[in-house]
Each structure stands twice: as C-alpha cells, then as structure tokens.
Amino acid sequence: MITFLWGQFIEVAEDENVDQIIMGKSGKNAIERFLLGSTTERVVREANVTVNVII
C-alpha cells in the first residue's frame, strides 16, 4: 500500500482504469503560483495517464 498522497492518486487511477486525472494546482503567493504543488507535480511525473492541472 502506498502511503504518500500522490501515490494514492495514481493507485486509484490504476485500480479504476481511468483515462485521465484532473487536479488543482496549489499555491497562494506569486512563487507558489509559478510552481506546482508537490503532490500535483509528482502525479504529473509518475502517472501513466494524462493529468490535467486546473490553475
């Protein structure tokens, strides 16, 4: 069992055989707006399906 949140997103996507994952970007200040949140970034890099990030 994966205990990291990003891993849970990927695990559920694989278990449910989804076509894509849609996630929100975290952050409140200018620097955080420029960068994806760590969970979102990891899902984008690790998922085997398309990940759409809503800004």
Cα distance between the two ends of the chain: 30
Residue 21, phi-psi category: left (phi > 0), alpha (psi -120 to 50), beta (remainder): beta
Domain around 26: 5-54
Q: Note the pLDDT of residue 4.
A: 82
Tens of pLDDT along the chain (55 residues) come to 556 888 999 999 999 999 999 998 876 666 665 666 788 889 999 999 999 999 8
Domains: count for the chain = 1
Instruction: Output the pTM of the full model.
Output: 0.76
